[in-house]
Amino acid sequence: MRTLNRFILAGIFLAISGCGSGAPDSFMRMTKQYWEVVDIKPSIKYNDAWERVLYIITKKFELEMISKEDGYVRSAFGASYFTEDMQNDKYQVRIVAKFTPDKKKLEFKIESRIWDGKIFQNGSDVRVAANMRKDFLNSLGEPQKKPMKQSVPADSLQQMETIEQQ
């Protein structure tokens, strides 16, 4: 009887904690994907930028489609590389990246989906998007100037959070 009670309690705990049955907190359900844009340093030529983009993407994803001539690369759907979030095949993530026709900008989007038992629910993964954006900016992007911190009243919590995030 004690073993049965422990089994039931363990089942309840796993159900409450999620245990990989749902999407991670970073999943945002949406029907339309939004492209993020990274300005490429003028000193980086297209061939070099292309190689850098492929290197960054292939560190975390398996490629599904690639066209250097068109400046387009898409990975296959796969498990999130944040393995602590999800360790099953119900949650999948991929990246789509393309250069603008003038090759001065890189546009990318993160597509993710969660299997709800009947269909995939589409969305994006903000954690993966933020990490990819950081990687692309570090390798390709123009350095961003940080604005100086401004003095704000202590009761202005929203303003404080905005400044701290910068």
Whether residue 107 is predicted with pLDDT greater than 70 in this model: the reply is: yes
| Helices vs strands, H then E, count in the chain | 4, 7
Q: What is the mean pLDDT of residues 115-135?
A: 93
Q: What is the mean pLDDT of residues 76-96?
A: 76
CATH numeric code, 33-142: 3.30.530
Q: What is the mean pLDDT of residues 83-90?
A: 60
> Which residues neighbour 146 within 8 Å (Cβ) at sequence distance 6 or greater?
166
Question: In terms of Cα–Cα distance, which of 132, 48, 139, 122 is closest to 96?
Answer: 132
Report percent pLDDT > 90 for the chain: 52
Q: What is the mean pLDDT of residues 124-152?
A: 78
DSSP 141: B
Whether residue 8 is predicted with pLDDT greater than 70 in this model: the reply is: no
Higher local confidence (pLDDT), 118 or 24 = 118
- Structure confidence by residue, pLDDT tens digits, 19-64: 444 778 888 998 788 899 999 999 999 999 999 999 999 999 999 9
Q: Where are the domains of the chain?
A: 33-142
Mean pLDDT of the chain: 77
Contact (CB, 8 A) for 75 and 10: no
- pLDDT on residue 151: 44
- pLDDT on residue 26: 86
